[in-house]
Structure 1
Amino acid sequence: MCSQKMPAAYRERATPFELPTPPESHGGSPVQIQDIIPEPVEDDSGNRIVSISTTFHPTADILPMRPDTIVLSSDGVFFYVHASVMLATSTNNWDGRMPSGGSRSRASEPCTSEGSKVVPCPEPAPVLNVVLHVVYGLSCESYKPTIDVLSAAVDAMVAYGIPPKDHIAPSTPLYALILAQAPTKPIAAYVLAASHDLYSLAVPVSSHLLSFPLPSLTDELTEKIGPLYLKRLFFLHLGRKEALRQLISAPPHPHPPTQECDFTEQKSLTRAWTLASAYLAWDMRPDLMGSEIEATFLPLGERLSCDLCKQSLVERVKHIVVQWSMVKRSI
């Protein structure tokens, strides 16, 4: 697919018969093809150049039949597609831009010299490229679309009557692409999933939001996320904090008294544990690492002279770390 800057690798030299030509006049319609299809540019050698998708081009073998429709992006990139495929995935004939049943919805609709319909769309080429890959059930991973492009593509799918829930599931290419963006763009991926009620996607994405500062959410983001998924995100953070608070509240179990260490001596470990847990609770985070728990409590053993107390401390810390790793990490 052509990028917006149209690097040379995505450009194709075109002879006159390759270029879309103006449609025939229908009843003196004032619509001109120049209003729909941009003029081709010329390179330094005087050759005419048009920008054509590297996946959806006139000779692509995606299907046995040749393409019969041209989708034109807002930045002048041509996508050669099949009307039957486009209409089969849309519930509103691509927002009314494509006629159903093979009939012309508007007499002035432009065509090429070979009769291919030209469907202009308001989205730029990177966004349309993702949408068309979804329509054909193809992966566009090689184009490395950003999360902003993916989000705009899902919004465009809704506009064109392509239900996101039907095409963004754990086994689909688009699901994998969005999820791959979650580690670096977690809030953007979560907004995308939440705004389209894609619960199966929101769940794994939310696990990357444990370190996200919820107070930094803007009004715009909260509005896009919506009350249901916002509540789930808040409850995830609050639930993990409360679970950790309960885990560290109980000090190590005392051991039976010995000549060297009775219950009175063991109270020093209990007091030290209480102070350490209060320190940890002060800066408690839902993304706290097990190593941080160990770094907080294990040094208490350096001040203990009783081996049984040391063993009890180590076992208690180990138990907390294991239990903490089992606490739910997603909505």
Structure 2
Amino acid sequence: MSDDLGASKNSAYAPATTVYHFQNLSTAFNDSSSFPQPYHYPPDIILVTRPTYTAFFTHYHRLVTESNNQFGRLLESCKPPNDPGLPRRRPIIYVDENEHHFNCFLIALYNWSSQLYKPDTGVFSHVFNLVIKYGFKVRSVFSPSSGGFQDLVRTAETEALRMYTLAAHWDFEELAVSASRYVLRVADTIQNITDDHAETIGPRYLLRLIQLHETRKARLKELLLIPPTLHVDDTPACARPQRLSVLRAYGLAAGYVVWEKAAGVTVQEIKSILFGNIGTSISCPVCSDAVQRNIDHVLDLWSQMKDTI
């Protein structure tokens, strides 16, 4: 089989049967890795990061498919293999990249999950830059159905505002929508947005986040500050002072939720707070039923509230 590869200043070549002795070898991308379809055949190109000289065994067609610049111009002189999977001389391409960022970038290209490597929002920010640098589109590599997108959403659970800021900066609508749900769950998030955050987020996404927060807080107040309707007439087990005590307890618990909890407070949290403070202390069964109906009504309406931008 004739050699179908060119050479470049960042390249070297070795036969497919060569035993490699790199300074570091990627645990995710090597000759023993199981690659997804349609890249189930042995890797045919080796990328080596500098200065750590970590080797990543990958596939030519994955690196150039969807890339609009031949993988950052690095593969312009490399011709595609005539028959992927057959032994051939494998090019070794050197890239001046942080090996952790580059690893997470390649994982996203192959539609894998990078959770094993615990990337945070800062790492994903670097990965997004690599996606563009090597000719891909962020919203294509991290499509909502991809493993990489699920990684982003999982990271948003613990780094909500940072991930929302990243999504807004890249105009990544799907990610911004998913991250906004977690931003709401952090108390005082809106008040703690710094000037740098606001500038990076931009006016459109910042306004949408504030509007979502304010709309939900107003609706929460509206729902919870309506007291339950208790029976009017006294009974042997429940006189007016007891009913006033129930209303007072309900008002205190509802007020706590309105003023202390974030706009993303969940149905379960509201239920726990209300029942925890008044549900077990009501001796009158009629009042208890009325409070239960009121809470159920509040929870039902709150569960229908939009919780993303």
The answer to whether the superposition gives a TM-score over 0.5 is: yes
State the partner residue of 2:58.
81
Match of 1:165 among 136, 139, 161: 139
- 1:143 paired with 2:117, answer yes
Alpha-carbon distance in 2 for matches of 1:177, 1:231 = 26
Asked if structure 1 preserves the Cα contact closer than 8 Å seen for 2:48 and 2:95, the reply is yes
Q: Deviations over 1:99-130 (max 9, x none)?
A: 16739xxxxxxxxxx67252423x30011112
State the partner residue of 1:175.
149
Secondary structure of 1:250 counterpart: coil
Deviation at 1:180, TM superposition (A): 1.8
Asked if structure 1 preserves the Cα contact closer than 8 Å seen for 2:111 and 2:148, the reply is no
Asked if structure 2 preserves the Cα contact closer than 8 Å seen for 1:272 and 1:300, the reply is no
Secondary structure of 2:157 counterpart: coil
Instruction: Name the aligned partner's letter for residue 51 of structure 1.
Output: N
State the partner residue of 1:184.
158
Alpha-carbon distance in 2 for matches of 1:175, 1:73 = 28
- 1:225 paired with 2:206, answer no
Instruction: Name the aligned partner's letter for residue 224 of structure 2.
Output: I
Q: 1:243 to 1:297 in 2, by over 3 A?
A: farther
- 1:118 paired with 2:89, answer no
State the partner residue of 2:3.
none
Alpha-carbon distance in 2 for matches of 1:287, 1:115 = 52
Alpha-carbon distance in 2 for matches of 1:173, 1:186 = 19
State the partner residue of 1:246.
222
- 1:154 paired with 2:159, answer no
Comparing 59-68 and 153-162, the one that deviates more: 59-68
State the partner residue of 2:108.
134
Alpha-carbon distance in 2 for matches of 1:307, 1:57 = 68
Asked if structure 1 preserves the Cα contact closer than 8 Å seen for 2:48 and 2:56, the reply is yes
Q: 1:51 to 1:260 in 2, by over 3 A?
A: closer
Q: 1:145 to 1:310 in 2, by over 3 A?
A: closer
Alpha-carbon distance in 1 for matches of 2:29, 2:281 = 65
State the partner residue of 2:304.
326
- 1:207 paired with 2:188, answer no
Q: Deviations over 1:290-326 (max 9, x none)?
A: 1224456658957xxx764454334223322333333
Q: Which has the larger radius of gyration?
A: 1
Alpha-carbon distance in 1 for matches of 2:152, 2:62 = 24
Q: Deviations over 1:208-236 (max 9, x none)?
A: 22233222222222222222222222122
Structure 2 gaps of 5+ residues are 1-5, 13-20, 81-88
Q: 1:90 to 1:71 in 2, by over 3 A?
A: farther
- 1:51 paired with 2:32, answer no
Alpha-carbon distance in 1 for matches of 2:42, 2:298 = 62
State the partner residue of 2:294.
316
CA RMSD between the two structures: 3.9
Q: 1:228 to 1:197 in 2, by over 3 A?
A: same
Instruction: Name the aligned partner's letter for residue 26 of structure 2.
Output: S
Asked if structure 2 preserves the Cα contact closer than 8 Å seen for 1:67 and 1:82, the reply is yes
Q: Deviations over 1:233-270 (max 9, x none)?
A: 21221111111111123222354656889xx9899579
Deviation at 1:187, TM superposition (A): 2.0
Alpha-carbon distance in 2 for matches of 1:257, 1:89 = 74
Alignment of 1:255-274 (within 5 A): 255=231, 257=233, 268=244, 272=248
Alpha-carbon distance in 2 for matches of 1:239, 1:296 = 26
Secondary structure of 1:55 counterpart: coil
Alpha-carbon distance in 2 for matches of 1:240, 1:66 = 51
Secondary structure of 2:298 counterpart: helix
Q: 1:87 to 1:299 in 2, by over 3 A?
A: same
Instruction: Name the aligned partner's letter for residue 292 of structure 1.
Output: I
Instruction: Name the aligned partner's letter for residue 210 of structure 1.
Output: L
Q: Deviations over 1:152-198 (max 9, x none)?
A: 11221122221011121232110121122222222222223222233
State the partner residue of 2:273.
292
Q: 1:307 to 1:131 in 2, by over 3 A?
A: closer
Q: 1:73 to 1:188 in 2, by over 3 A?
A: farther
Tell me the TM-score normalized by structure 1.
Answer: 0.67
Alpha-carbon distance in 2 for matches of 1:274, 1:59 = 63
Structure 1 gaps of 5+ residues are 1-22, 38-47, 104-113
Match of 1:70 among 23, 35, 47: 47
Alpha-carbon distance in 1 for matches of 2:112, 2:264 = 36
Alpha-carbon distance in 2 for matches of 1:259, 1:116 = 89
Asked if structure 2 preserves the Cα contact closer than 8 Å seen for 1:95 and 1:161, the reply is yes
Instruction: Name the aligned partner's letter for residue 60 of structure 2.
Output: A
Deviation at 1:199, TM superposition (A): 2.4
Percent identity at matched positions?
Answer: 24
